[in-house]
């Protein structure tokens, strides 16, 4: 069954790549550039490449902040990728004066400087699900390796939100979930078969 999937247009450069992935998986994807565009979709996917401040500024310019917050509050299906994960929190040390969507309490922080530890964190790393039975992880490899590109990561105030952890220096929350909201710091669209399975699980879950 093909779903109507909205892809948040925040001005980032990887939107076409995500739309192509959706098409490959047999689902209709369309860009969401205004609140009215949300009326035509059943699921929301927020990809992310770029800076926290620029992303939030573009959401505000397009009057998308409140509609996205309301979408999540109504427990409609949402999948956030990288910045689409980070913007769910209150603020980021990348741009401290910019208010995030504040769906969840917490702050986006920078990896600490450590000898021999390169920042940004780029490449494949293991993602350890908290609950392997959770629908997003169904039929994915064990161990699960996904692709990351980031210098910042969220620290949720509520540890109960954490859906997976990943080690880079220390463990960090590589994804969160609550109801029909799922968001992760990794890039499933760049993670080959394992990443495509994550997106497919989200798209095929019951509404």
pLDDT per position as a tens digit, 62-80: 999 999 999 999 999 999 9
Q: Which of 55, 82, 121, 150 is catalytic?
A: 82
pLDDT of residue 13: 65
| Sequence-separated (6 or more) residues with CB below 8 Å from residue 88 | 72, 80, 100, 101, 103, 104, 154, 176, 181, 183
Query: CB 156: neighbour CB atoms within 10 A?
Result: 17
pLDDT, tens digit (0-9, with 9 covering 90-100), for 102-142? 999 999 999 998 998 999 999 999 999 999 999 999 999 99
Rounded to two decimals, what is the model's pTM? 0.96
187 part of the active site: yes
1 pLDDT higher than 60: no
> Pick the catalytic residue: 27, 121, 150, 187?
187
**Cis peptide upstream of residue 143 (ω within 30 degrees of 0):** yes
Active site residue 90: no
Residue 70 a catalytic site member: no
Enumerate domains of the chain plus CATH numbers.
Answer: 4-204 (3.40.50.880)
CA angle 111, 116, 122 (to 5 degrees): 55
Distance between CA atoms of residues 149 and 122, nearest Å: 4
């Amino acid at each position: 069954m093909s779903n109507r999937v909205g892809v948040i247009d925040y001005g980032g450069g990887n939107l076409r790549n995500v739309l192509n992935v959706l098409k490959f998986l047999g689902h209709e994807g369309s860009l969401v550039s205004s609140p009215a565009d949300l009326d035509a979709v059943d699921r929301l996917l927020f990809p992310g490449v770029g800076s926290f401040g620029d992303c939030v500024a573009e959401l505000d310019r397009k009057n998308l902040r409140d509609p996205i917050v309301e979408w999540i509050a109504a427990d409609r299906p949402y999948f956030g990728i990288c910045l689409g994960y980070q913007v769910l929190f209150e603020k980021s040390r990348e741009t401290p004066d910019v208010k995030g969507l504040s769906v969840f309490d917490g702050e986006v922080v920078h990896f600490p400087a450590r000898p021999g530890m390169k920042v940004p964190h780029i490449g494949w790393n293991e993602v350890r699900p908290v609950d392997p039975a959770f629908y997003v992880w169904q039929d994915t490899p064990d161990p699960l390796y996904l692709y990351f590109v980031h210098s910042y990561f969220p620290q949720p105030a509520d540890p109960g939100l954490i859906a997976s952890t990943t080690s880079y220096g220390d463990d960090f929350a590589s994804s969160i979930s609550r109801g029909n909201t799922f968001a992760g710091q990794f890039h499933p669209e760049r993670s080959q078969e394992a990443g495509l399975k994550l997106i497919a699980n989200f798209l095929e879950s019951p509404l």
